[in-house]
Structure 1
Amino acid sequence: MSKVTGKDIRTLGEKLKDFKTSGDEIIINIERDEELFQDMKVLFNCLEILLSDYDFSKNELPAEKSFKINPPTDISYNCWTNMLIADGMFRDKPGEEISELLWDVKSRKMKDTVIEDLRRKLPVFEKKDEIIKAV
């Protein structure tokens, strides 16, 4: 195992500034190098950052635990069931149009208090019970 010095850490920090993306992320593509990995463990230990033990060579799921996921499409895809929407009203409609239809239905169900107040002021409202009994 090699020894990491303060100079090495400063040099590494200066080099990492060049890789900084628009956010706070630093993306570095490196090949698997056991010596580098051990050096990084020493660095993280110096910085009191605990690394969990993980075997990076086992990064694939066994075939029996994986399943194919259909990619989402622009038209009528239900991501919760991983299926196309087969309902007649929503079939072959893009998500935006389905959303607009559902919003229209919801907004029609919402009570409009202004209209209700105006209806209560009509003369027929006073006789509503008599009208309902007569029907």
Structure 2
Amino acid sequence: MILGVVGMAGCAQVERVFAPRAEPAPEVVAPMTPDDLDATTPAERKAARVEAATARAGALGPTVASLGSPAEPGLWLKTPLVDAPARGRVDYAVTGQSVAVDLIPLDAVPGSGSRLSLAGFRAVGAPLTALPELQVYRLAD
């Protein structure tokens, strides 16, 4: 009888050691949406569209754009088509939309593509997963 009691006590100890432990529930984090990440205001977007429609511009050429860092706010295009910061415009023929942007030099070979800000993608109506072909212009001072 004593062996039976000792044996059962031993089984209880083994069960505690090998029993699966309850893991704490993972913290649920709501996914970020483009609306959450795009810090441009409706007034800023409207002003950029008006500037794009009214400012004189000189063509720099076409580029294929990927989505730039969503952590960098604003309307900008990092591109090898410029060698100094400038004000510019991008046109997206698929939607017929244009927006004024800050042109930022990108240390890359011309033709290698550009990076457009999240706000820029949204302003021209390009899908965030697309690689839109844009026409790039430098705005006259």
TM-score, structure 2 as length reference: 0.19
Structure number with the higher helix fraction is: 1
Larger-gyration structure (1/2): 1
Structure number with the higher strand fraction is: 2
